[in-house]
Amino acid sequence: MKNAKKYAPLWMPAAALLCVLALFLASPETPAPALESAAATPFPTPRGLRVAVASDTHFDPDHTDKQSDLGEAVYNMEIADAMLHDVKAQGAKLLLLTGDLCNSGKRPKHEALVEKLRAAEAEGLTVYVLPGNHDLAPLKQSEFAALYADFGFAEAYSRDSASLSYCVLRDDVMLLMMDTAGYGVSAIDLPGAPKRADSNAFFTEETLHWAEELLQTAREKDIPVLAAGHYNLLPEISRTENTGYYVENGVRFASLLREYGVKLTLSGHMHLRAVYEEDGLTEQLTECLIAYPTGYTVLDLTPETIRVLPRRVDVERWAAETGQTDPVLRGFDEWQEQGLEAYCRETVEAMTKKNPLKEGEKESATRFFNAVMRAYWDGSLAERRETLRQLEGYDSFFRAAEGYSYGWWLRDLIETASPKLAGFEIDFH
Ligand SMILES: [Fe+2]
């Protein structure tokens, strides 16, 4: 087994900025239960149309050095394969990729991903993609749409002339696939796109008008609508300029969705799993695929309801079924747990340079941190809130974290954890 990795998970930069989320853990005598391996977890069978949503795949054939300590990221190609395998194994008919498909807007990376998506479609999966902020420049909008023609753009019921937004009608569902990614002015070349001076994500008046006409059509035909984008709509940070999360006119788009009775919108970008709700509109954020816990979102759609479930890619099953010999892939769950544990230990160690703890306190603070992270990612944080507050490491951790963003972040996660992180069901129509 390869040594535990030494790196900050890809969700940490986003985590440090996030104010409203959810997390949790166990007692010092009773170690936090490990996330069960994907293979050991019974997963519900599909109910209605099953749609998988993966985000921030950051696919990168140039970033695969297994000797580096960059964690799951160096397995980005294998994880992409395992994810495609897993969504098919779980009975998903559609896969939505909500942006940051590749690590940069370089054509060869996208071509390599397109090849994989084409193979998945040949086996019966339908894939629709959205651009993220990493996906363009040097690639231009028109080139992106041409590359992914078979993954949404050429199959669209309608395309927006002012952006890479498009709409598909499939299985009596309307998907509004919205281009909400700040990918920079040099990539903007669609004839109807506006000239921009900044790299914020935005909805133009034209795009809002286009979306409203489609929502009107859906209403007239009595078709339920799902919306998706890369940037988020409801978190406060999405409404704050110059954050890298800001969506100009995002509030207006969210209002439009509510006006037409849309219940769920999907996004990524934050690299975290989270659920936001505001005035009847729910937003499900899907985590970065190539970080712990290699998760994606499953939606089960019936005409009446949407069931949202978190799912962890069964990398080990894919590795076994495809004859992979790398021991990391064959023992992926344990490798990930070791990586998370090492990350928690190193973080506590680093913070105690400024805020010293005794050795025993460091140990319990590390166990506390690890337990919170596991509970957050397995969706049980809300349920375990009280148990976590009583852990021996609780006080030690927050003493060590004094003056560090981890302090307020973890406290906020624990206090605001939503039970919906474990999955939930809402009306569709
Ligand atoms: Fe992003």
| Same-domain status, 260 and 345 | no
Last residue of a domain, one of 292, 320, 348: 320
- Å from CA of 130 to ligand 1 middle: 11
- Å from CA of 183 to ligand 1 middle: 9
- Å from CA of 133 to ligand 1 middle: 5
| Same-domain status, 61 and 157 | yes
Rounded Cα distance between 346 and 8, Å, is 10
Query: Is position 19 within any domain?
Result: no
- Å from CA of 232 to ligand 1 middle: 10
pLDDT at 394: 97
Last residue of a domain, one of 264, 290, 320: 320
Query: Is position 26 within any domain?
Result: no
- Å from CA of 79 to ligand 1 middle: 18
| Same-domain status, 111 and 168 | yes
Q: Which residues contact 311 (CB under 8 A, 6 or more apart)?
A: 38, 43, 52, 86, 90, 295, 296, 297, 298
- Å from CA of 230 to ligand 1 middle: 7
- Å from CA of 126 to ligand 1 middle: 23
Query: Is position 27 within any domain?
Result: no
| Same-domain status, 262 and 120 | yes
pLDDT at 22: 30
- Å from CA of 270 to ligand 1 middle: 7
| Same-domain status, 86 and 235 | yes
- Å from CA of 93 to ligand 1 middle: 25
- Å from CA of 398 to ligand 1 middle: 30
pLDDT at 386: 95
Query: Is position 17 within any domain?
Result: no
| Same-domain status, 162 and 293 | yes
Last residue of a domain, one of 320, 354, 374: 320
In one-letter notation, the amino acid at residue 294 is: T
Say if residues 61 and 112 touch (Cβ distance below 8 Å): yes
Number of domains, the chain: 2
Eight-state DSSP code of residue 307: E
Query: Is position 220 within any domain?
Result: yes
Domain housing 294: 48-320
Is the pTM value of this prediction over 0.85?
Answer: yes
Assigned token pair, 264? 């769920």
| Same-domain status, 309 and 391 | no
- Å from CA of 206 to ligand 1 middle: 24
- Å from CA of 382 to ligand 1 middle: 27
- Å from CA of 396 to ligand 1 middle: 34
pLDDT at 40: 53
Burial of 177 (0-12, 13-18, 19+ CB in 10 A): buried
Q: What is the pLDDT along the chain (429 residues), one digit of tens a residue?
A: 444 445 677 877 666 555 333 322 222 233 333 444 444 568 999 999 999 999 999 999 999 999 988 899 999 999 999 999 999 999 999 999 999 999 999 999 999 999 999 999 999 999 999 999 999 999 999 999 999 999 999 999 999 999 999 999 999 999 999 999 999 899 999 999 999 999 999 999 999 999 999 999 999 999 999 999 999 999 999 999 989 999 999 999 999 999 999 999 999 999 999 999 999 999 999 999 999 999 999 999 999 999 999 999 999 999 999 999 999 999 999 999 999 999 999 999 999 999 999 999 999 999 999 999 999 999 999 999 999 999 999 999 999 999 999 999 999 999 998 999 999 999 998
In one-letter notation, the amino acid at residue 254 is: A
Rounded Cα distance between 180 and 168, Å, is 17
- Å from CA of 132 to ligand 1 middle: 5
| Same-domain status, 367 and 306 | no
pLDDT at 43: 95
Task: Write the CATH number for 132.
Answer: 3.60.21.10
- Å from CA of 229 to ligand 1 middle: 10
| Same-domain status, 273 and 350 | no
- Å from CA of 57 to ligand 1 middle: 10
Give how far Cα 55 sits from Cα of 95, 99, 159, 316, 425, Å: 10, 6, 22, 20, 21
- Å from CA of 394 to ligand 1 middle: 32
Query: Is position 366 within any domain?
Result: yes
- Å from CA of 245 to ligand 1 middle: 9
| Same-domain status, 387 and 292 | no
- Å from CA of 26 to ligand 1 middle: 33
- Å from CA of 304 to ligand 1 middle: 32
| Same-domain status, 99 and 238 | yes
pLDDT at 19: 39
- Å from CA of 10 to ligand 1 middle: 11
| Same-domain status, 149 and 101 | yes
Query: Is position 209 within any domain?
Result: yes
Say if residues 304 and 427 touch (Cβ distance below 8 Å): yes
Eight-state DSSP code of residue 139: S
Residue 142, H or E segment: helix 141-147
Query: Is position 427 within any domain?
Result: no
Q: DSSP for 272-284?
A: S-EEEEETTEEEE
Report the DSSP pairing between strands 295-301 and 305-312.
antiparallel
